Amino acid sequence: MSKKIAVILSGCGVYDGAEIHESVITLLRLDQRGAHVQCFAPDIAQLHVINHLTGEEMPESRNVLVESARIARGNVKDVREADVDDFDALIVPGGFGAAKNLSNFAADGAGCCVQPDVLALAEAFAEAGKPVGLMC
């Protein structure tokens, strides 16, 4: 029986979203191992948008769910739709999006808060005794 894995993305791009290499390699390896994967992301605005060529902040806004669809090739759902009972494990690839969009760690450090929908899902996995993999 194949494992079912939930993956939470935080946008698209190392400086303001999910790290693309970590995300894609994770998704590739899960596919190679026969896992059934569903990507999720919060349907929220990104903290900010970074020009990955120059490192400068850009004067625009983007949505984390919409940006995550770039990595997931459109196969991404709002994290509020995730049900721990449907999955065997949870994986969260790194990138600054985890510290900027999935939490406010980038601004508040150790006193940070995790985005409520992401926190609820992670806590549900912990309470169910199911593995959670965090990268970077």
Instruction: Tell me the catalytic residues.
Output: 136
Please tell me whether residue 134 adopts helix, strand or coil conformation: strand
Element (H, E) at 136: none
Torsions phi, psi for 83 (to 5 deg): -125, 120
DSSP state letters, 69-119: HHHHTT-EEEGGG--GGG-SEEEE--SHHHHHTSBSHHHHGGG--B-HHHH
Contact 17, 67 (CB under 8 A): yes
